[in-house]
Chains A and B, each alone.
Chain A
């Protein structure tokens, strides 16, 4: 125990002596939380709208006014014909062009039905679709108002009353922050441990350690403990920032959250250890850890929902630890579910931890 203690102290010294690394390790999570809390948002706003009005009457003016009053839209100008409208899209003056045909008012009054054309810049597909959706919603509301003024009596009308559960203001950070945790913890645990172990191999100091009477297990644990501690500090930092800065709810059990986080940390540390046993140079360790980060970003469900992926890739995602951790964190933190609802995620992560720890210990003994 004493051996382990003095050894862990040595590892901490290595880390603390390198002030710059230490700073980054502690600041990185803060920056990421700020990025995902404030900067990264798919929210649609300031849609620059240009209008081509060939009908020119009170009705079209009424519609245009509604757009101008809406907080999502911003009227940038008018164009004489659709070609000019297109040109405004082309040179980036507008995001959307609303075109009223020549007979708009006439059609609306006579047949209660008229067409509006929307031209959008499709180069950002999600934005374009969302912008179109906002315009459509607004036009729907306008149509209902017009109906009321025309004295229509409603029949068989079904009105949806929607509730956005857990996230009434649809804030994107509710979705991003758990993913962010999964990524940072994986990064620090896997990349930092693998590089620091391989460094000792490259420097030859690992041989010295292995030649000492210390059991290899003690050496490994001593290398892992500091990164475990730092990751844990990061975890707490993120939680505190989420609560006090982003005002994110913490709806579920804190203990369950801590428990599953510890399992995830073990998985990440074991991955780092495994990488370190497979490679000889720090460069290679670095690259392998980086390659671990890419799937963590894309397969974790952090930005791209798992259920939208092709089935084959959904299976691939099952092998990514972050996918389970992020799912569990979302449920525990934001949804605040009962503990039994994250049993599946916990079980999968625990199995991964068990497999990876035994695998990396086995290879560690064989290789060194």
Chain B
């Protein structure tokens, strides 16, 4: 009963804030709408420069072939490598193809010739992907030249292994489908960890918490009155995000939807308890915000959101075992991608529950109605 009064107070205050309700609606819309579209590591557009030291028909055909490829865009042909590398320094190009002076002769006489491919590899992934594209085009070009020369005789033909990769679950390797569940987790962490913490520290700073502390409200009632409203808001935003993902991209969880909510409630409890603990140990908004931000950065980056956990060094893989975000993220991705039931996420669920229980107890224990 008392809890009811407290919760209705929280909702009133929340809705009267100028910023909060706008955030509740705008955050899922903007994040789900924008981030998946920009969060792509696919390389589709490569600017390249050419140094053709051969100027032969075969070298010129090679340059045309590269320029005609949909992923490549020719910035210019240069007389020397030095000139071409200036285009990388200036940021106009990311790749240089340099053709040797006797490219055509080697190709025709020796049967094999080399082409230098230099990529701007500050972003290593981008660098190796673009040189991979070039390799592919070069292989196609050789095959074309062999065909034209009518060289199909078995003794000139290289053995070929045709590889047919088939991807399960996310058959088209749609990166958006991978990002969307992760973004839902991010939205929840933003709302459910930050807001309760900032709210309580705000009451401390204003002094209103004193009026509560001098009343007979129990600690758990007070803590619940802060947790429940933000859990409700978190679930509302999650629902919005699920609906938006369906409307915008047509994504619907392959597993059952209620599983998402079960996981989300456990996760929200963990995060908001953490927020409360932080607020109990902080006296200013600045302190609380910075602390939570600190946790959030670590949780997000060590959750496998952007880069996989298996790629991490061993010690940090072990550290991720206590990262709640990791379990929620894993569960969300599994539920979205695979037609699974509770069994598939039960381990994650259990771990989240244990964390929630521990942090919840800590949150209540560290909330002091009475000063020592």
Question: A residues touching B (Cβ–Cβ < 8 Å)?
Answer: 18, 20-21, 24-25, 28, 31-32, 35-36, 38-46, 63, 86, 89-90, 108, 112-129, 132-133, 135-136, 139-140, 142-144, 146-147, 150-168, 170-172, 174-175, 187, 191-192, 195-196, 199, 202-203, 279, 281-284, 286-288, 290-291, 294, 298-299, 303-305, 307-310, 313, 317, 327, 330-331, 334-335, 337-338, 341
Contacts and interface: CB of A to CB of B under 8 A. Distances in A.
Interface residues of B, number: 110
Interface string B33-46: 01101111111110
Contacts of B248: none
Closest 10 CB pairs of A and B: A122-B167, A170-B124, A164-B121, A122-B170, A125-B173, A156-B145, A337-B89, A282-B285, A167-B121, A132-B165
Most buried by B among A113, A161, A191, A283: A283
A116 B154 contact: no
Nearest to A124: B308
A21 B283 CA distance: 11
Interface in B151-198: 151, 154-171, 173-175, 177-178, 190, 194, 198
A337 B93 CA distance: 14
Contacts of B169: 121-123
Contact of A283 (B113, B119, B199): B199
Contacts of B146: 155-156
Contacts of B53: none
Given A116-B164, A174-B122, A174-B124, A158 B141 contact: yes
Nearest to A149: B159
Contacts of A288: 19
A39 B313 contact: yes
B31 interface: yes
A232 B226 CA distance: 38
Interface in B124-163: 124-128, 131-132, 134-135, 138-139, 141-142, 145-146, 149, 151, 154-163
Interface of B: 17-20, 23, 27, 31, 34-35, 37-45, 62, 88-91, 107-108, 111-128, 131-132, 134-135, 138-139, 141-142, 145-146, 149, 151, 154-171, 173-175, 177-178, 190, 194, 198-199, 202, 205, 282, 284-287, 289-291, 293-294, 297-298, 301-302, 306-308, 310-313, 316, 333-334, 337-338
B121 A166 contact: yes
A98 to B, nearest CB: 9
Contacts of A202: 205
B119 A298 contact: no
Contacts of A163: 116-119
Contacts of B334: 123
Contacts, number: 347
B190 A290 contact: yes
Nearest to A34: B316
A120 B117 contact: no
B118 A118 contact: no
A146 B42 CA distance: 33
A286 B285 contact: yes
Contact of B119 (A144, A164, A281): A164
B117 A160 contact: yes
A164 B154 contact: no
Among the interface residues A123, A171, A192, A327, which one has the most CB atoms of the partner chain B within 10 A? A123
A224 to B, nearest CB: 15
A146 B307 CA distance: 36
Contacts of B18: 284
Nearest to A154: B111
Contacts of A282: 198, 202, 205, 285-286
A50 to B, nearest CB: 13
20 contacts: A18-B284, A35-B302, A108-B159, A116-B163, A142-B161, A147-B159, A152-B155, A153-B155, A155-B149, A161-B116, A162-B117, A164-B127, A165-B118, A165-B119, A166-B120, A281-B202, A282-B285, A284-B19, A286-B289, A304-B38
A286 B31 CA distance: 18
Contact of A187 (B120, B155, B167, B293): B293
A192 B131 contact: no
A175 B199 CA distance: 37
